[in-house]
Amino acid sequence: MEIKGKVHEVGATQQISETFKKRDLIVEYAENPTYPEYIRFEALQDKTALLDTFKAGDEVEVFFNLRGRPWTDKMGKTSYFNSLVIWRINAVAAGAPAATPAYAAPVDVSNAPGEDDDLPF
């Protein structure tokens, strides 16, 4: 999955255990500019370094995996959690025009005046 938006915040790297670290990225997603959404992504382990070059205000395209897991508390109640885990992030050039499709321009295939059609059908 991927999404484009503007970096709102880049969190500090958190060393959760001796072998596990993570870092949060908050992206402002404005599908409807009147009501922007602030979406939290996680970068895990070696992917935390991907966020080093980004700062608030940068336009980005974030590629991520959606993960979900259950957790049962001491009382036996099960809750469910979702995570958006980054696997790639690209800077988007501000004001860059949208990519245009690569195809040939239409060509007029009609006969020139005075030419006969020599097709057998």
Domain that holds residue 82: 2-91
Residue 116 has what DSSP assignment?
P
In a domain? residue 113: no
In the chain, the number of structural domains is 1
pLDDT digit string, tens, across residues 50-84: 999 999 999 999 999 999 999 999 999 999 999 99
In a domain? residue 60: yes
In a domain? residue 27: yes
SS3 46: helix
pTM (2 d.p.): 0.72
The CATH number linked to 43 is 2.40.50.140
In a domain? residue 23: yes
Q: Which of 31, 32, 40 is nearest to 7 (CA)?
A: 40
**CA distance linking residue 83 with residue 61, whole number of Å:** 17
In a domain? residue 118: no
pLDDT digit string, tens, across residues 9-55: 999 999 999 999 999 999 999 988 899 999 999 999 999 999 999 99
Q: Which of 11, 22, 16, 32 is nearest to 83 (CA)?
A: 22
In a domain? residue 107: no
In a domain? residue 51: yes
